[in-house]
Amino acid sequence: MPNFNPEQPIYTLPQSSTRAVIPKILTILLLSSIFYVGILLNIALLEMTPSEETTVKLVSLVILIIIIVLGIYLAIRRAHLPYQFYHNKITFGKKEVYYTNIETITLHKDPADHIFKTYSLRVGNGFIIRNLSNEIQVQNYLQQLVQYAKRQV
């Protein structure tokens, strides 16, 4: 059996879990409540017996709760994924971007970032390093990695 040793990351960057999870949970709850109100409105407009109406409401509520729990679980799971920096690329889950493909690195803050004291780095090609704590300044480190990778080519 061959000894396969995958490349180890040179740096692992965690996300701010609260910044990643809380806005997602609030969005899921808001959209779910709007959806459920729509269901209730449609049920009220249909001619159903009280027992049918109760059954449809209960089934809708159960399905909605399952969707909410699944959405929260996926948000928490994604929030615990770190950004991994290798010698030639950055990965996040299955997404990756090579340093040689990075043209500009721009810092971005939205209103939620100000509340949670976080920021994001846009590195191009649709790859964004999100939910970084203000205490961790990684922009200069990333620029050095990009410059080093481009000199090696």
| pLDDT for res 7 | 84
Q: How far apart are CA 118 and CA 109, in angstroms?
A: 7
- pTM for this model (two decimals): 0.81
Mean pLDDT value across the chain: 92
| Nearest CA-CA partner of 125 in 153, 90, 149, 83 | 90
User: Is the pLDDT confidence value at 3 over 70?
Assistant: no
Q: Which two tokens stand for residue 5?
A: 């040793």
Q: Is the pLDDT of residue 4 over 90?
A: no
pLDDT digits (tens, 9 = 90+) for 21-73: 999 999 999 999 999 999 999 999 998 899 999 999 999 999 999 999 999 99
The pLDDT of 120-128, averaged and rounded, is: 91
